[in-house]
Structure 1
Amino acid sequence: MRTRTIVETRKVPHTIDGRTVLVDEAYTVRVPVPPRDWDRAVRTGLLAVAGIVGAAAVTWSTVSIGALLQTDVPAAAAYAAAGTFDLLWIGCMALEWLARYDPARAAAPRRAGWVALVVAMLAITAHGSLAGSLAIGLIGSAVSAGAKTLWWLTLRSFTHRLNSRTQQWVDAQRADSEGELALIPVRRELARARSLVAAEKTARRTQDADPDPADVEEDGPDADVVPMHKPRVVVSAKDAVRDAWDAGLRDPVQIRRTASAAHGSPISDATVARYVRALKVGA
């Protein structure tokens, strides 16, 4: 049995000056080496080969179909469109792989992939025929067919078949999960609809409300309404002196009396004199 050496660590006591602590100690141990997984190695190599073949098929079909299309359209548009021919069956094959455990869902991309392959092969053959070499066209179309077949067989080797009961159990679990996912946008839609209905009802109640009912006298007194007195506006001493000054009064005594009446309380002579000096400076 083949073995290999690995380094591991363990805790060991280490004492200095009578004080012991646990420290890490490295040691080597030999462990058996599992046998080589040849199936995995072969599958890895198969994926590499399939990738190379697929790239070659896409390149050939793009060049061939692009040369066919550029006779009537610009070269950039022709080769861009040509690249989609093989990419179509590659995309369908990817969808088939994603639905590998759902035969009913995988059937549609499988059929679409083969149809896309046939269309690409016909386009490559047509280019060879128009170029005067039908054999090259047939060989080129065979490249795409071989790449598609190789990828199809490669993916099948990674797919595990399920018996009837297991498949039914998987379908039931998938249906429950997909149902929960589908209910998320449905609940959001219902919540938005309920919000709109509630807003509409609120708006209608506001519009239908009558601010002046017919059984209430429009301008009559209401026993439940308590009359409110208008609050008295308080004028500051400075504003009262300014108003008296703007009214043309220049006698300090007259200004003090008029301003005190407007202010609501007596204003001292010193205060009046200070504000009058400021008004004279401003004038």
Structure 2
Amino acid sequence: MGQGPQETRVPGVRYRKVARTREVTTVLDGKPSTREVPYEAWEPVPPREWDELILRGVTVLAITVTVIAVAGTTAGVGGLLSRMVPAPVAYAMGAVFTSAWMACLGIEWLNRLNPERAKLARVGGWLALGVSMGAVVAYGVTLGQPVAGGVGACIDLLSKGLWALLVGYHAVPLDDGVAHWVTEREQELAGRELLGRRLLRLNRRAAFYRAVGGWEFDAVTAILDSAEQQRSLAGTDSPDSLDTANSEPVRTVSAQASTPAPPIVPPVSGPVPGPSGEIVPDSADTPGREAGQAASPTSLPIAATVRDVLQAEPGISNAELTERVAAVHGHQKNLAETVRRTRTRIEKPKKRNAS
């Protein structure tokens, strides 16, 4: 193995030999060829991190003590409870005593940067530890060995104490401003996560009901869509909103109909009928108005015109009624159908609602 380039060593720094490679290019007849050549080099060795080694050792020791404490407490409490319940159940119940304060310890670790939130888990952990130690002491008393029971109970206390020291070491105290900033970021992220899950659940339920809801779900959807459309039209100042708000009566959607009825054609300009049913002459018929000039716009809906004509002449035919309406509002697309539906709605409101 060849030697690498000359390297300068700093006095007082430890080095170790490592194997490296470098590229060497050979050119023959104008054609280069590159290959990797291994060589030995010296690289500095970082100083030993004694703090890191000590922290790892303490963590391993705490884990070992905790395993022993779990085994001892489970055996003691299980032996105490085995006089009342079967042995497997008794020892399973014994494991709960140590698991309780360990769970509280985990919650305290997660909230180590927020002392207020970690306080409840810390207090609960010490209370669970006291109950566990009391159970072990009680088992020793029942065997006539109170001292042995007390010594066995101290294993849980030592394990809990080691973990309390580790959590306190990693719990970095934060300034009030920094703590407030962290809390706001956590609240923002938690709110987004909660809203996302809630919307996901609602969308899944909506997809399920669309698939299996049947005509009941379709009827409710039609009612809600119709109401939303009327609210959106009522929020504008156009003649469309006036026609929908004034002339459209309350209707009951039948179970067989899954779509709302087509909307009434909006009104246009024209003369207005009088209260007795006679048609007031259009302004185009008045002197001084040129022929063919467009009539002035009117905000009167078609339904009002149909209602006034029917009050004056109840037996009028649909064709004549359509002509009367056309004289007021002008000829529109599907005007005859609109007049027919409006007349049916006015003359037979109970029958239409009953359907």
Q: TM-score range by the shorter chain?
A: 0.5 to 0.7
TM-score (norm 2): 0.55
1:275 matched residue in structure 2: none
Q: CA deviation at 1:155?
A: 2.5
1:184 matched residue in structure 2: 196
Cα distance in 2 for partners of 1:73, 1:190 equals 46
Render the CA deviation track for 1:239-280: whole Å, top value 9, x for unaligned. Answer: xxxxxxxxxxxxxxxxxxxxxxxxxxxxxxxxxxxxxxxxxx
- Of residues 49, 69, 73, the one that matches 1:57 is 69
Aligned AA (2:170): F
CA contact (8 A) 2:73 2:97 kept: yes
Cα distance in 1 for partners of 2:38, 2:254 equals 81
Runs of 5+ consecutive residues of structure 2 not aligned to the other structure:
1-12, 211-216, 224-252, 259-317, 319-336, 338-355
2:154 matched residue in structure 1: 142
Q: CA deviation at 1:5?
A: 1.9
Q: SS where residue 30 of structure 1 aligns?
A: strand
1:159 maps to 2:178: no
1:207 maps to 2:255: yes
CA contact (8 A) 2:25 2:33 kept: yes
Cα distance in 2 for partners of 1:184, 1:136 equals 55
2:97 matched residue in structure 1: 85
Percent of counterpart pairs with the same letter? 32
1:67 maps to 2:115: no
Which shows bigger deviation, 173-182 or 103-112?
103-112
Cα distance in 2 for partners of 1:103, 1:200 equals 54
Cα distance in 1 for partners of 2:166, 2:113 equals 16
2:123 matched residue in structure 1: 111
Cα distance in 1 for partners of 2:103, 2:35 equals 57
1:37 matched residue in structure 2: 49
Cα distance in 1 for partners of 2:170, 2:33 equals 53
Aligned AA (1:149): G
Cα distance in 2 for partners of 1:59, 1:101 equals 31
Structure 1 runs of 4+ aligned residues shifted over 6 Å read none
RMSD: 2.7
Q: CA deviation at 1:42?
A: 0.3
Q: CA deviation at 1:182?
A: 0.9
Cα distance in 2 for partners of 1:149, 1:138 equals 16
Q: SS where residue 207 of structure 1 aligns?
A: coil
Q: CA deviation at 1:16?
A: 4.7
TM-score (norm 1): 0.68
Aligned AA (2:255): Q
Q: Go from structure 1 to structure 2 and tell me whether the alpha carbon gap of 1:76 and 1:121 turns closer, same or farther (over 3 Å shift).
A: same
Cα distance in 2 for partners of 1:208, 1:75 equals 65
Cα distance in 2 for partners of 1:200, 1:14 equals 84
Cα distance in 1 for partners of 2:16, 2:254 equals 84
1:20 maps to 2:32: yes
2:113 matched residue in structure 1: 101
Say which structure, 1 or 2, has more relative contact order (CA 8 Å, 6+ apart). 1
Aligned residues: 213
Q: Go from structure 1 to structure 2 and tell me whether the alpha carbon gap of 1:169 and 1:203 turns closer, same or farther (over 3 Å shift).
A: closer
Q: SS where residue 73 of structure 1 aligns?
A: coil
Q: Larger Rg: 1 or 2? A: 1
Q: SS where residue 101 of structure 2 aligns?
A: helix
Higher helix fraction (1 or 2): 1
